[in-house]
A = this chain, B = another copy of it.
Amino acid sequence: MTTIKDIAKAANVSPATVSRVINDGPKVGLKTREHVKQVMKTMGYRPNINARALVNKKSTSLGLVLAELMDPFFATYANAIETVARESNSQLLMSSGSSSASSELDAIETLLDHRVKAMIVHSKFLDDKTLVDIARTVPGFVLINRYIEAISERCVWLDNVLGGYKMAEHVVNLGHRKIAVVSSDFDIEDPRDRLQGIRNFLAEHHIPLPDSHIAISSPNQQGGEIAMRELLASQTEFTAVLAYNDAMASGVMNTLYDHNMDVPNDVSVMGFDDVILAQYCRPKLTTMHYPIRLMAATAATIAMDLAQEKAPSEERSYKFIPTIMARHSTKKI
């Protein structure tokens, strides 16, 4: 690998000058600059990022911690963030697969070892204190899909309670009164929040939601199928099903079809997230749109800004609002 010294020698200048050329550094004679550039090109020079990171005490890469790359939900995140990263010439250093506090911490620390300039973290298992502590020592630390009061200006999150509220509102407006809920057995805030939102709306409108109308299973298609089978087996009466996410909703529809019930004619079904799957379903799924791309871009942007200790970003709050995406799986009763 040719180094800056090789270039310097070949171009008859000092390494410092080469460095200046590389970084568009200040005050370099036009002809030396051109000359050096020429030499770099012909010799095929490529800077050693690690050496640079060492002296700068910061690498140019952007760290990303996600739970699961295969999940389209997270894939969308990764994709959007990668786009922003590339635009600012940084690489993405990924750590996925976290589904426990210790693995989450592990992922974060590895990123720290790499001295990433900024990091975007999806963490559902680490406690607030740990996260806040890390945030204090890492300027460009941003949390997605989570809200912690103490570092609110570094949290990019979705109002899940409102999401649940709007789901209930949507089907009730369509005339449904017998509502069933299919929720996730993951022990994190999201399902609790969404369910709470549903409860809030229903309570306000004096519509009951007995426990027998709530089935819980894993947050994927199979979980949806299982949950719906339970509901059916217990003779629960309902005309609308609110699912925790699109995958579960798709499972719900499968089970319904297997029992010769039509969606949306016999039962209305709603999902949450609006991942690509929602459009691939048949009928296309009515769901809550989760502005993932927007949130990802926001997170990436503020992470980079924070990293450069830019303006304190006016103490804004980055709460996002889910919106109804009405498609064909819900219908007026």
Contacts and interface: CB of A to CB of B under 8 A. Distances in A.
Contacts of A254: 282
Contact of A50 (B1, B115, B281): B115
Contacts of A54: 48, 50-51, 54
Give the bracket for the number of chain A residues in contact with chain B.
35 or more
A94 interface: yes
Interface stretch (A4-12, A78-86, A207-215, A230-238): A78-86
A50 B59 contact: yes
Given A70-B75, A82-B96, A113-B46, A280 B279 contact: no
Given A46-B112, A257-B282, A277-B277, 20 more contacts: A48-B115, A50-B50, A50-B53, A54-B54, A69-B69, A69-B82, A70-B72, A75-B75, A78-B78, A82-B96, A83-B97, A86-B95, A86-B97, A91-B93, A91-B111, A221-B279, A221-B280, A247-B280, A277-B280, A280-B280
A97 B70 contact: no
Number of copies: 2
Nearest to A85: B94
Interface in A40-80: 46-51, 53-54, 57, 59, 61, 68-72, 75-76, 78-79
A12 B78 CA distance: 45
B114 A50 contact: yes
Contacts of A61: 93, 114
